Structure 1
Amino acid sequence: MLRRRIERLLANVVAEKWEEWQFASAITKDTVRGRKFKSFGTGSLISFPWVTIYNEHYIEIGNDTMLGPYCALSAGMMPGQQCVTSPVVRIGDRCLIGRGSGIVGHLAIDIGNDVWTGHHVYITDQNHGFEDVTRPISRQTQPEKSVTIGDGSWLGTGTVVLPGATIGRNVAVGANSVVTGKLPDFCVAVGAPARVIRRYDAASGWKPADEFRGQA
């Protein structure tokens, strides 16, 4: 009985100290790490622990935005790299990026306001070339295309957003989808590659995507 009480007490102490350490180690606009960013908004937070963060001076984060623990956030291939655009990564206001997600920018990733994601979402604007069979894929040209995610959208857990993707406003992307192209405003998309299954019409509300066939 005494041993169990001691174990519970120690577990509570460890949990309490871990919470304190997480809070103290988070990145905010007033921390040394936060001041390295191109801009870091008021009320925003990158939770501890994080996985990889570098070239912060090419990254903008808006106000009241939170990245969950174990997230990766980077601009360029390696620390200290000179990028050709600035910012490379922009995250808007009131966004929530789920635990274990990665945002890896090389050219331009623009995430609008009020964008929320589930856990383990991956967003990148660079792919791997594979066409030259005489060279390892890791040594081939890595094509880059900008990525845009519109205001108010939601990306379900496990979503992957690939180079050239354009996601409109208030778009719901189902879990484990792979977005490769353009998703219009006010739609629901699922699958790999993601396809639109429902869209909103101002006159008649939400309708199956088939009824919009031939429209932009």
Structure 2
Amino acid sequence: MATNKNVFSSPVGWGRRLAQYLIHRCWAWAQAAGAVTAQHPGRLRFASIGAGTRLAFPQGTVFGEPWIQLGSHCIVAEQVTLTAGLVPGVDLGPEPVLRIGNGVVIGRGSHVIADTRVTIGDDCYFGPYVYITSTNHSYDDPHQPIGRQWPRMEPVEIGPGCWIGTGAVILPGAVVGRNVVVAAGAVVRGTVPDHTVVAGAPARVVRRWCPEDGWQPPLRTPAPVAIPEGITPEQLLALAAAEESEAANAAGGAEGRESGAGADGLTAGAATAGAATASAAITDTAGADAAMARGVSAET
């Protein structure tokens, strides 16, 4: 007789579900407890860390934090590397080396390597796995291994309001302007003007904005409408509800018109069929009269 395997597997399944639940709860607790904030910096002693800023757990490599300045309301995702100086334990002077502005979001697995000054402006958004460095290997001497040659260092500056796509690389000496979009996988060096979109390796300008002509080439989607100042969340919700109501009313009116058009079509079809029947009857009557007339004429 066949045995129901669920009789034996249910305790195993129950144990697995319990283990999964405990692991998820413990991991959620570890993430909350291991996050770095201004109130709970843990072992990290940054030059400054603003209110509302959070470094998610687990953190990546972090050293030289006395020369790292973090603004307020920043989000630093898991496994993000933040370093100041070539190696830990080096005195870099009285001024911060890595400055991160307010409202900056740095995606998972990104690296910001500041062996010399790196500045990131306010409200910059970085996708995952972005790499920013102020240091590059030197290969001037062909007789020495590249790793043994002293590296080159140049400051990096990223203006406010930029969006850096996934996997982009910002090389030493790069100066990225205000509100710049860096496409995913782009390799940026040199100066990038304000209000441009750059893509490729090396990155080149593929779209730019100017007050006279707007975006050139034009955007494929219409520009978003800015929210007026002083608008409250309640007013936005009321506006959204009103727009939904208008859309529903418009859809209902369209359905009513379609139904009316269908009824009119049926009426018109019936009228056409009636007209066709009457026409056929008239034609048949006329044909019969003509045949009778021909018969009378033949008899005569």
Stretch moving more, 163-172 or 22-31: 22-31
Structure-to-structure mapping, 1:28-47, within 5 angstroms: 28-33=37-42, 36-47=45-56
* Contact 1:29-1:35 within 8 A present in 2 as well: no
Bigger share in strand: 1
CA pair 203-85 structure 1, distance change in 2 beyond 3 A? farther
Q: Do residues 23 (structure 1) and 32 (structure 2) align?
A: yes
Stretch moving more, 10-19 or 143-152: 10-19
Deviation of the 1:16 alpha carbon: 1.8
Structure 2 residue matching 1:13: 3-state secondary structure? helix
Residue from 53, 69, 73 that aligns with 1:60: 69
Q: Do residues 185 (structure 1) and 194 (structure 2) align?
A: yes
Q: Distance in 2 between matches of 1:159 and 1:121?
A: 5
Matched-pair identity in %: 40
Aligned position for 1:74: 83
Residue from 171, 177, 182 that aligns with 1:173: 182
Deviation of the 1:85 alpha carbon: 6.6
Q: Distance in 1 between matches of 2:41 and 2:106?
A: 22
Whose Rg is larger? 2
* Contact 1:37-1:60 within 8 A present in 2 as well: yes
Q: Distance in 2 between matches of 1:50 and 1:34?
A: 12
Aligned position for 1:147: 156
Q: Distance in 2 between matches of 1:34 and 1:206?
A: 47
Once the two structures are superposed, residues 71-127 of structure 1 have per-residue CA deviations (whole angstroms, 9 ceiling, x without a partner) of: 110000111112257211000001100000010101100000000111000101111
Deviation of the 1:12 alpha carbon: 2.0
Aligned position for 2:170: 161
Once the two structures are superposed, residues 162-204 of structure 1 have per-residue CA deviations (whole angstroms, 9 ceiling, x without a partner) of: 1000111111111011111111111111011111100011122
Aligned CA RMSD, in angstroms, stands at 1.5
Q: Distance in 2 between matches of 1:18 and 1:40?
A: 25
* Structure 2 runs not aligned, ≥5 long: 1-9, 219-300
Q: Distance in 2 between matches of 1:34 and 1:112?
A: 26
Once the two structures are superposed, residues 34-77 of structure 1 have per-residue CA deviations (whole angstroms, 9 ceiling, x without a partner) of: 76111110000111111210110100000000110011100001
* Structure 1 runs not aligned, ≥5 long: 210-216
Q: How many residues align?
A: 209
Q: Distance in 2 between matches of 1:10 and 1:67?
A: 30
Residue from 209, 225, 237 that aligns with 1:200: 209
Deviation of the 1:9 alpha carbon: 2.5
Residue from 121, 127, 130 that aligns with 1:121: 130
Q: Distance in 1 between matches of 2:41 and 2:123?
A: 26
List 4+ stretches of structure 1 deviating above 3 A: 32-35
Q: Distance in 1 between matches of 2:208 and 2:144?
A: 43
Q: Do residues 132 (structure 1) and 144 (structure 2) align?
A: no
Amino acid at match of 1:68: A
Q: Distance in 1 between matches of 2:43 and 2:161?
A: 25
Stretch moving more, 27-36 or 37-46: 27-36
* Contact 1:27-1:34 within 8 A present in 2 as well: no
